[in-house]
Structure 1
């Protein structure tokens, strides 16, 4: 368990850092009324976020640590965070739950752990009356995320990166560097948790982080600005698709009929995805499979994705309906 020096825990956060954080938080919520649940793993990033939030909001800052049960050290780390919060008078809870089952080929361990983490934080926020949930994603995380998604061929939505706000989840230190957050923790006399997964070559992000450590020409602030611009573009495209959905998609009995004529491919692709999800909300839709379906329909063929079958009745009418039950042998 990482050591802490209890008398040092009363050190105040640097006023300049607190002023900067106050401005960042105000971009995402009203600090005067917010009751913020901070997700704290025990690492330096989340501990810095906790110190900043508590210094600004006082008792309206509450905290929670999710123990995914994936590492034997996790329980001790959660207990360490609990003791840190107790020393500062911060309400804290340790959250545990069952890891979701693997679904298809895309739900890897990290994705399942992330789903559990957000589900538990959302439920706890409801229970304690939190208006917002804050996580400690920062500028270096943003660079790593964009490079990983570029390497996987992501589209505009993926390249928008980590969003500063998603529902009531906010990321107020998204513009901060990892080193800046670490300095806040060090100045408080706290030795944070060292998660071995952050340096394990088993994980793509950890390998990328090591590679980036030797590169000094990447400007995280400019990368973050590009991600924000892409997020704006993604929002605009989403708005356009919702508007088109009312004009170009019609319900006919148990089917949906889409008129794709004269639309750019990206808008057609998204409208097709919208139709599929409306019929089969549980469909696992991979980008490459969706593109293949659109191409097949453009060629006048029939295609299937999940439990949805699509038929090109004509160039101006593509019908989507639930596929009939498969015959068992």
Structure 2
């Protein structure tokens, strides 16, 4: 499939108009709500700078128009050019022209090295957020807004259900998270894709459609097609379910954190959590392995807070010693004992 190139400059690119007042008020309220959750109820300063991640799609261009109207003089924008498609440079230039017409400072960012290899979408995402967060921080913005919406959330939830994800995965796209000192906010999770497209059109904003959104090789494209073909699946309700799951995940995370603070005393002391529910043991054993790996500077084999630890938990329940991520875990009457695993013997 050939990429859809960004349109050439046109009169409409140079003459944006404010989006409808109701949409602007809704957006302003959504940003305030998500920011309050991220900052524990403390409202950012009235003149705080707001950074926008703008790709050039209808969703992010609608967000740009809404942010300019809701927070005049406070917005800055950046476009991350992954350099994975021939049209991406033209799309970034289109965003830059739109920002210039709105008097919004704009930067085009790019990865320091070519994005390649396996799991290219994951690599692209990591590179994008690393660059955008660093840019927002340097620009003096405490908040970085992305244009993820209810349809994105529904697609993500279905993808993760299909992969057998647990509670943390099913929480899907979080309304907010911190990347260093920058709060990454998703204020549009209650908006539909079609609504945002209408906002962009009403504001005379240019936009492009990414051809990868129609590529059936991607899980997200297949889930998008499933939603389109199944009217009984309501993206807004699915997104609401993801929000409830995010609340449940937050409760579990706090409980696991409390147990960690109360009972973890380092790898040389037993970790007494064997009687807790399996979901809590799952979280705590990952955290303990990561702690031992960090203290011993273990980098291989790979291990993180989403690594499958089910066989390890099964072994511990059976009273056996197990090794994962370069860490040996033994079940003792006083609790689990963690230590650096001895090197494997050569054959």
> Structures share a fold, TM > 0.5?
yes
Conserved? CA contact 1:135–1:171, under 8 Å? yes
Conserved? CA contact 1:100–1:112, under 8 Å? no
Q: Within 5 A, what are the aligned runs for 1:190-229?
A: 190-229=205-244
Q: How many residues end up aligned between the 2 structures?
A: 323
Structure 2: 5+ residue stretches without partners: 1-5, 36-42
Deviation digits for residues 143-184 of structure 1, max 9, x if unmatched? 100000000001111111111111200011110000000001
Task: Give the match for residue 255 of structure 2.
Answer: 240
Deviation digits for residues 95-148 of structure 1, max 9, x if unmatched? 112359889xxx711111111111001110111101100000000011100000
> Is 1:318 matched up with 2:318?
no
> Is 1:25 matched up with 2:31?
yes
Q: Within 5 A, what are the aligned runs for 1:92-241?
A: 92-98=106-112, 108-167=119-178, 168-241=183-256
Task: Give the match for residue 97 of structure 2.
Answer: 83
> Is 1:2 matched up with 2:7?
yes
Q: Which structure is higher in RCO with an 8 Å CA cutoff and minimum separation 6?
A: 2
Distance of 1:218 and 1:99 partners within structure 2: 40
Distance of 2:328 and 2:320 partners within structure 1: 11
Distance of 2:233 and 2:253 partners within structure 1: 30
Offset at residue 313 of structure 1 (A): 2.7
Distance of 1:288 and 1:97 partners within structure 2: 27
Offset at residue 224 of structure 1 (A): 2.1
Distance of 2:116 and 2:327 partners within structure 1: 22
Distance of 2:332 and 2:63 partners within structure 1: 55
Change (3 A) 1:9 1:108: same
Task: Give the match for residue 306 of structure 1.
Answer: 325
Task: Give the match for residue 88 of structure 2.
Answer: 74
Change (3 A) 1:258 1:99: farther
The list of structure 1 runs, each at least 4 consecutive aligned residues, that deviate by more than 3 angstroms after superposition, is 98-103, 285-289, 325-329
For residue 187 of structure 2, give the secondary structure of its aligned residue in structure 1.
coil
Distance of 1:242 and 1:2 partners within structure 2: 51
Task: Give the match for residue 289 of structure 2.
Answer: 276
Scaled by the length of structure 1, the TM-score of the pair is: 0.92
273-282 vs 123-132, greater mean Cα deviation: 273-282
> Is 1:16 matched up with 2:29?
no
Change (3 A) 1:7 1:291: closer
Change (3 A) 1:152 1:47: same
Conserved? CA contact 1:300–1:313, under 8 Å? yes
Structure 1: 5+ residue stretches without partners: none
Conserved? CA contact 1:65–1:93, under 8 Å? yes
Scaled by the length of structure 2, the TM-score of the pair is: 0.87
Q: CA RMSD in A?
A: 2.1
